[in-house]
Amino acid sequence: MGFYTYVYLQLKLLKDHDLPSEVEKVLKYLSKQNKNFENEEIIAPDHPFFKCPRWERIQSNFGENFGYYDSEFLVVDLTEDGINHEEGEIREFVRYLKPYCDLSFNNGWIGWQRNEEADHITALFYDTFKDV
């Protein structure tokens, strides 16, 4: 069994014309911005994030306290409830979005995380999520 991780991410996305419609559809689905998706399943792209058995759990955390998505930024705020991620969902989520982000924004800083048993936070950079 995993432990809760509290995460805050701020990702600056590429301009609309550089963001593939498939990615935009996923972000709208996860952020629950498109009400048409409420009773519809999304076709998961071929990426390790969508192979995580609980990838849609990130969606369940989207809402008033989660953050927001617009054409420029995706803010993920799991600082209040946290996420019990055993399968590396956060790592794969960032890896999925990394090609569509402005990697130079904030000198590559994208947020922080803290595990429930830790007494400190860890800064997160795009380099934290290098492909292995």
All structural domains of the chain with their residue ranges: 4-129
CA distances from 128 to 109, 124, 131 (A): 9, 6, 9
Give the confidence band of 27 by pLDDT, cuts at 50, 70, 90.
Answer: confident
Q: What is the pTM of this model?
A: 0.79
Q: What is the mean pLDDT of residues 25-50?
A: 72
The set of residues, in sequence order, having a beta carbon less than 8 Å from that of 129 and lying 6+ positions away, is 91, 94, 95, 98
Given a contact cutoff of 8 angstroms between Cβ atoms, the answer to whether 37 and 1 are in contact is: no
| CA–CA dist 76, 94 (Å, integer) | 11
Q: Per-residue pLDDT tens for 45-93? A: 899 988 887 777 666 555 554 566 777 888 777 665 556 656 678 888 8
Three-state SS string over 7-75 comes to EEEEEEECCHHHCCHHHHHHHHHHCCCCHHHCCCCCCCCCCHHHHCCCCCHHHHHCCCCCEEECCCEEE
